[in-house]
Amino acid sequence: MAPRSRLQFNNVLLSKLTADDVACLQPFERAQLARDQVLVDPHTPIASVFFLESGIASVHEVLRDGSRVGVGIIGFEGMTGWSVLLGCDRSPHEAIIAIGGGGALSIPTERLLRACSDRPGLNALFLRYVQYFMSQMARTITSNLRDPIERRLARWLLMNHDRLGGDEIHLTHDQLGVMLGVRRASVTDTLHILEGERLIRSTRGVIVISDRPGLEAFAGETYGVAEAEYVRVIGPFAGLGAVH
């Protein structure tokens, strides 16, 4: 197997690349991401793609009345702007920073595309991430249809937890409402339920995961399938799929 990149990136995709592949992408521009920063503007040419190193971006559909519905989540395991790899210069969806303060590596679309055409391994890895993202979306469809809010919330918290360093998740109830497609008030109520089960603690703007295994049990079938797909097509990350 080819040698892995020596430069350590905190982005999982980049860390799976060979040093040669990484060299072909260089230089990256480092960016510090603030909450609500837009990484992909819908229906607008994508100038750069971002590889997050920390923090969370969420992917939204934007409706005509300006309201938003969450369709996916991206952290240091992924990237934004994959549409350009599918031969499209833009995306119908918005990618926006939900949890800021983190860093990211960005690269102009043009250079990414050139690198991908020169080095098939690059392209292949990123396309497998697209495969994973479709699994995530599919699971969101079924979870939204079949699960009560508590379970969907548990799933969403777990997905955030996977992508963050510690046990603290800095999200407001409003943001969670958008991601889950429910009222802000429903989020409040539901957080209290999870808190009553001693799975989390919740204070103003912060949710603390206090019983991760319990949360997984609570989420049931809704969490785990897409994550297994990630491990299968990309590889383990942050404890997920780690050797036991």
188 binds, among a copy of itself, DNA, none (CB under 5 to 8 A by kind): DNA
45 binds, among a copy of itself, DNA, none (CB under 5 to 8 A by kind): none
Closest approach of DNA to the CB of residue 3, in Å: 45
Residues that bind a copy of itself (CB under 8 A): 61, 63-64, 69, 71, 83, 85-88, 92-93, 124-125, 127-128, 130-131, 133-135, 137-142, 144-146, 181, 221, 225-226, 229, 233
CB 89 within 8 A of CB 193: no
69 binds, among a copy of itself, DNA, none (CB under 5 to 8 A by kind): a copy of itself
Amino acid at 77: E
Closer residue to a copy of itself in complex, CB, 28/230: 230
Closest approach of DNA to the CB of residue 215, in Å: 17
Closest approach of a copy of itself to the CB of residue 139, in Å: 7
- Relative to beta strand 200-203, strand 206-209 is antiparallel
Instruction: Read off the tokens for 185.
Output: 């008030």
155 binds, among DNA, a copy of itself, none (CB under 5 to 8 A by kind): none
Instruction: Read off the tokens for 117.
Output: 């055409």
CA angle 20, 91, 70 (to 5 degrees): 105
Q: Does 188 bind DNA (CB under 7 A)?
A: yes
Helical spans, DSSP H, in 46-108: none
Encoded one letter per residue, x for contact with DNA by CB under 7 A and - for no contact, window 102-141 reads ----------------------------------------
Instruction: Read off the tokens for 119.
Output: 């080095």
CA angle 239, 240, 242 (to 5 degrees): 65
Q: Does 67 bind DNA (CB under 7 A)?
A: no
CB 160 within 8 A of CB 171: yes
Instruction: Read off the tokens for 163.
Output: 């992508």
Instruction: Read off the tokens for 30.
Output: 């480092």
Closest approach of DNA to the CB of residue 68, in Å: 14
Q: Does 183 bind DNA (CB under 7 A)?
A: yes
| 99, β-bridge pairs | 56
Q: Does 184 bind DNA (CB under 7 A)?
A: yes
* DSSP string over 169-180: E---HHHHHHHH
**Rounded-to-integer distance, Cα 64 and Cα 22, Å:** 40
Q: Does 186 bind DNA (CB under 7 A)?
A: yes
Residues 6+ apart with CB under 8 A from 179: 58, 70, 73, 98, 156
Closest approach of a copy of itself to the CB of residue 48, in Å: 18
- For DNA, the binding residues (CB under 7 A) are 147-149, 172-174, 181-186, 188-189, 191-192, 202, 204-205
